[in-house]
Chain A
């Protein structure tokens, strides 16, 4: 051993190093960020498969997505779901009795209405003969509601399904501590005064400390924002890139809102309050403003901030799904077909939010499409860092070869086709309701932009993910 210590001078003057980064970034990324969508013609005509029923979206609606703790804060989750269902009835005029089944997704459950689908359906005036159930799969709960409906129709069990999702983050169940609950339950069973007194004598003040709903992944105990920050770091996504992406989301959402493109939004007259007509979280800011924020999770040097994360949101969505022949027989002009879909799952620690990366190539292959065939991308934006990490993962040979067992990378996503009407970062993300918003945005954009295929994808807590192909219904 001769030389044990080697050292290198990386003598880049720090000022120029940083300046370089700042000046390069807009060149490499921003020019793409704002480009106009291009319309292409497809080689493939349709994704219809022989001997499988075509399933269509007749239409879908959502109540405005609001920042938690605002106008919806005194309501219960089923009230929001009810409003979405009423809006759907109003929009589609579907006779209530033809609905075979209702499925809703939700994440943080109100214990009083644990089957929120049923309570909302009853309250919205649907037939009490229409069964309803609730599903939960974190941020892809509404997707699960839709695909459950797709399954019921495809297997011939049902013809008409209402699928939706709801989340009310303004109110979450906060429980007594386990010790307190145990004492209260034991007290119920105690028969004599003596038994009761002896139980009460065991009471300690700390029994009163409440149990908040878990904000962290159960398996790893890590909050999602923390994981997103690490994910961004793993893929070397800078703070500036994240802020730029978030700004893009807000700017595009604002534009879509102003141009009246968010046609799935239905007004909601909140009891005792004004009628809500618009999403409330769209706030285009400036990079300078955003740069001032302190990191929200990994302090003090992390990159995920309040400005480049999706915010806590209240909202609900619902859509009408039918077998194509049923819709046509009823005289509907459907908006889109729901085609192939996949669910994926991976390591909930280090790859928590990479679901879209795994799901995208899988669903494309299943449908026999390539990335170039897709006209409209609608991805759930949990965090800017998460979206950009997914971009980088899909565009990395190293990652796809080593972690996805694929020979080549998935490829780069064309930003000009990506979330052009905003996304969860700006429109908001009521966990259980986002899936339907994604599919309706895809369907409406296909119609508006004249495309044929859309890819919807989302990540979810638990290290899961989902992707679906939505095909435009011929005009």
Chain B
């Protein structure tokens, strides 16, 4: 007599206990002649299996141990794949990594078609690779090109796309309210549908084989020819090398081994970032007394409109105020375009776009500001202007309303100096483009109340940001770390290294954007502004390159991308960028002699990185930063510090504090104070057991 068996995975990461219990249950299924098919489903809505337990891998001490973990998984899935009794995976929520490998080992997959249900093998983002047979099964299932794309980029695939690719066999639409909460009933419905398919499969009324298209048949045939296979692997390897510049070990070893990978520095760095990110997605200040329901943004420029977009997106009622109709119109168009681009990518429907856009109110006056719970100003970076709007706004907002300033360098306490209620003033430093950059740096002054901070963090989290909370000071944390590095960039350019060469040196070190390009992107005028301000605040330590370079560029209108010219020339519609030849004379005029002892490619890279790292550690030493984890997240997510290094603090831990100090001393000998290692770094170098991360 046929029977059904149900699993409910209650904690949805694969770990050792789960593995052994799973095997036990499966053996029971296979042994019983009462059971003809089975359904594998999670009882937790929103999560099928989110992958192998990262802690389990992190706990591995040797490559052998890690490899064993992987092999056990492989064995388990192999048995599953060979099961003569059909097993149906019913997927609701994230089905990632080991979860997807589990699902594709089953005979049939049914997934909920909602935004929460995503399938993917994100291992590569942690510097490892699908370790339980995914590398073999995925290509068979979706074809080699799609499989490599998934494994090499780690991208998550939504259920409807997965159906088209052949990764899942059936979709189930989520249900609305009925006799119980929608999520609960949807899971139940998924189970009902899965059971009917399991029965159909056992009765051979449904076939688990899908019809492959001609292209698929051809490619799978071609892959059986060794020569073709080698050529494809070669091509893939080239692609990977090009994209990762050889810095990320995992992609290439996907064609190779697992055990070694889990033990690499890069993998440790990436796993560290993963943990840091989880940490920075929590509000450690607790729930604010009053939830922000009405937001107002001053200034509809690039930043203001960007902040508006990520707010209305999440259902926050948002007022966008600007001084001029033209400025406001530009900002509204930016928000609309941002949303409309999502419609084009099918991430939103046009109706959803319209209803999201209706959360935005554009205006030129302070109407309805008396209902605002938070005001974020994003006006031009000028202290007197910021003072002016702060006073204007305080005259109209209610008592509980938080005033947040989006500034990249102006100290918040100086802005708050004219406030009647400095406890309600806080800094919220967004990064451009706001809808793409995940980081939000929140800056608290000594007077900022805890509730104000909680409120700002809550809004940031709602906007989908990864948040670091830092103390006030010139340049806060992010800008302050970037400034000395940018100063070094200028010196290197003055010493005769061309922008293209400099870009390639930085990207090959792991920075996603080259140093010269970065200056163009940020805006040369902004860089100059920051360099002047921070130069005043920190003096000689922030010296290096000559400020005059930036001043001359600004004078000539070479402001970077926004003015069409900077170190490079930017043309609308053209992706190629050529060097701006007018820079030659400026650079020639400010030329410095290069010092051969510290001018090798490697030295140039380390001169940039060590100044960055030294400043970051100093921020921790001075208490600007509360934790090293926040420092790493801020550097990687906000400034593009090489993710494979895990952030400045992880870098010190993995590279060795002593070696960092040695480097700094070497450059100090050539250039002086700018490279003097800070005390905390020296402390770490002196006691080798001391780590930022235990």
Interface residues of A (CB under 8 A from B): 1-15, 218-221, 226, 230-231, 233-236, 298, 301, 347, 349-351, 389, 392-393, 396, 398-399, 402-403
Residues of B within 8 A of A236 (CB): 178-179, 185
Residues of A within 8 A of B179 (CB): 234-236, 392, 396, 398-399
CA distance A13 to B1 in the complex (A): 7
Shortest Cβ distance from A14 into B: residue: B2
User: Given contacts A218-B351, A221-B349, are A5 and B9 in contact (CB under 8 A)?
Assistant: yes
Instruction: Given contacts A1-B17, A2-B17, A234-B177, list 14 more A-B pairs with CB under 8 A.
Output: A4-B9, A5-B18, A7-B7, A15-B2, A220-B351, A230-B175, A231-B176, A235-B179, A236-B179, A350-B176, A350-B182, A351-B177, A399-B177, A402-B181
Within 8 A of A (CB), among B321-341: none
| Most chain A beta-carbon contacts within 10 A, residue among B8, B18, B178 | B178
CB distance from A369 to the nearest CB of B (A): 26
Residues of B within 8 A of A2 (CB): 17
CA distance A11 to B28 in the complex (A): 13
Among A5, A9, A234, A389, the residue within 8 A (CB) of B3 is A9
Residues of B within 8 A of A351 (CB): 176-177
Q: Are A298 and B349 in contact (CB under 8 A)?
A: no
Q: Are B6 and A7 in contact (CB under 8 A)?
A: yes
Residues of B within 8 A of A14 (CB): 2-4, 199
CA distance A12 to B195 in the complex (A): 13
Q: Are A8 and B6 in contact (CB under 8 A)?
A: yes
Residues of A within 8 A of B25 (CB): 5, 7
CA distance A396 to B185 in the complex (A): 15
- Judged by a CB distance under 8 angstroms, whether B243 is at the interface is no
Q: Are B21 and A4 in contact (CB under 8 A)?
A: yes
Among B3, B9, B34, B177, the residue within 8 A (CB) of A402 is B177
CA distance A265 to B175 in the complex (A): 40
CA distance A8 to B7 in the complex (A): 7
User: Given contacts A234-B176, A236-B178, A350-B182, are A4 and B3 in contact (CB under 8 A)?
Assistant: no
Residues of A within 8 A of B4 (CB): 10, 12, 14
User: Given contacts A4-B10, A236-B178, A301-B193, are A9 and B5 in contact (CB under 8 A)?
Assistant: yes
Among B2, B178, B199, B351, the residue within 8 A (CB) of A219 is B351
Q: Are A389 and B178 in contact (CB under 8 A)?
A: yes
Among B11, B21, B176, B197, the residue within 8 A (CB) of A230 is B176
Residues of B within 8 A of A392 (CB): 178-179
Q: Are B8 and A8 in contact (CB under 8 A)?
A: yes
CA distance A402 to B179 in the complex (A): 10
CB distance from A219 to the nearest CB of B (A): 5
Within 8 A of A (CB), among B164-223: 170, 173, 175-182, 185, 189, 193, 196-197, 199
- Judged by a CB distance under 8 angstroms, whether B15 is at the interface is yes
Shortest Cβ distance from B206 into A: residue: A300
CA distance A12 to B199 in the complex (A): 13
Q: Are A10 and B176 in contact (CB under 8 A)?
A: no
Q: Are B176 and A5 in contact (CB under 8 A)?
A: no
CA distance A351 to B170 in the complex (A): 24
CA distance A219 to B9 in the complex (A): 36
Shortest Cβ distance from B24 into A: residue: A5
Q: Are B5 and A7 in contact (CB under 8 A)?
A: yes
Shortest Cβ distance from A231 into B: residue: B176
Shortest Cβ distance from A299 into B: residue: B170
CA distance A347 to B5 in the complex (A): 37
Q: Are B8 and A350 in contact (CB under 8 A)?
A: no
- Judged by a CB distance under 8 angstroms, whether B366 is at the interface is no
CA distance A231 to B176 in the complex (A): 7
Residues of A within 8 A of B6 (CB): 7-10
Residues of A within 8 A of B274 (CB): none
Q: Are B185 and A234 in contact (CB under 8 A)?
A: yes
CA distance A402 to B182 in the complex (A): 11
| Most chain B beta-carbon contacts within 10 A, residue among A15, A236, A389 | A236
CA distance A233 to B22 in the complex (A): 31
Residues of A within 8 A of B177 (CB): 234, 350-351, 399, 402-403
Residues of B within 8 A of A15 (CB): 1-2
Residues of B within 8 A of A219 (CB): 351
Within 8 A of A (CB), among B1-42: 1-11, 15, 17-18, 21-22, 25, 34
Q: Are B173 and A298 in contact (CB under 8 A)?
A: yes
CB distance from B213 to the nearest CB of A (A): 20
CA distance A347 to B355 in the complex (A): 13
The contact sample of 22 A-B pairs, CB cut-off 8 A, is A1-B11, A4-B11, A4-B21, A5-B7, A5-B22, A7-B6, A10-B4, A10-B6, A13-B3, A14-B4, A15-B2, A219-B351, A220-B349, A233-B185, A234-B179, A234-B189, A349-B176, A351-B177, A389-B178, A393-B178, A402-B177, A403-B177
Q: Are B15 and A4 in contact (CB under 8 A)?
A: yes
Residues of B within 8 A of A8 (CB): 6, 8
Q: Are A11 and B34 in contact (CB under 8 A)?
A: yes
| Most chain A beta-carbon contacts within 10 A, residue among B175, B177, B181 | B177
Residues of A within 8 A of B181 (CB): 402
Q: Which 7 A-B pairs have CB atoms at the shortest separation, nearest pair first?
A: A350-B176, A234-B178, A5-B21, A234-B175, A235-B178, A4-B18, A219-B351
CB distance from B607 to the nearest CB of A (A): 48
CA distance A355 to B182 in the complex (A): 18
| Most chain B beta-carbon contacts within 10 A, residue among A13, A230, A233, A235 | A233
Residues of B within 8 A of A221 (CB): 349, 351
Residues of A within 8 A of B7 (CB): 5, 7
CA distance A12 to B34 in the complex (A): 11
CA distance A233 to B188 in the complex (A): 10
Among A3, A12, A13, A226, the residue within 8 A (CB) of B17 is A3
CA distance A4 to B21 in the complex (A): 8
User: Given contacts A11-B34, A13-B2, A234-B185, are A5 and B17 in contact (CB under 8 A)?
Assistant: yes
Shortest Cβ distance from B174 into A: residue: A230
Among B8, B176, B178, B196, the residue within 8 A (CB) of A6 is B8
Residues of B within 8 A of A4 (CB): 9-11, 15, 17-18, 21
Residues of A within 8 A of B17 (CB): 1-5
CB distance from B639 to the nearest CB of A (A): 37
CA distance A5 to B16 in the complex (A): 11
CA distance A349 to B185 in the complex (A): 16
CA distance A350 to B17 in the complex (A): 40
| Most chain B beta-carbon contacts within 10 A, residue among A221, A301, A349 | A301
CA distance A391 to B94 in the complex (A): 35
Residues of B within 8 A of A350 (CB): 175-177, 182
Residues of B within 8 A of A218 (CB): 351
CA distance A298 to B175 in the complex (A): 13
Within 8 A of A (CB), among B341-371: 349, 351
CA distance A6 to B42 in the complex (A): 11
CA distance A80 to B196 in the complex (A): 46
CA distance A6 to B34 in the complex (A): 20
Residues of A within 8 A of B199 (CB): 14
CA distance A141 to B600 in the complex (A): 80
CA distance A231 to B186 in the complex (A): 11
Residues of A within 8 A of B18 (CB): 4-5
Residues of B within 8 A of A234 (CB): 175-179, 182, 185, 189
Shortest Cβ distance from A8 into B: residue: B6
CA distance A230 to B18 in the complex (A): 34
CB distance from B349 to the nearest CB of A (A): 6
CA distance A351 to B176 in the complex (A): 7
CA distance A8 to B21 in the complex (A): 13
Residues of A within 8 A of B2 (CB): 13-15
User: Given contacts A233-B175, A396-B179, are A6 and B349 in contact (CB under 8 A)?
Assistant: no
Q: Mark B426-459, 1 if CB is under 8 A from A, else 0.
A: 0000000000000000000000000000000000
CA distance A389 to B185 in the complex (A): 14
CA distance A300 to B207 in the complex (A): 13
Residues of A within 8 A of B182 (CB): 234, 350
CA distance A185 to B15 in the complex (A): 66
CA distance A347 to B8 in the complex (A): 32
Residues of A within 8 A of B34 (CB): 11
CA distance A236 to B173 in the complex (A): 14
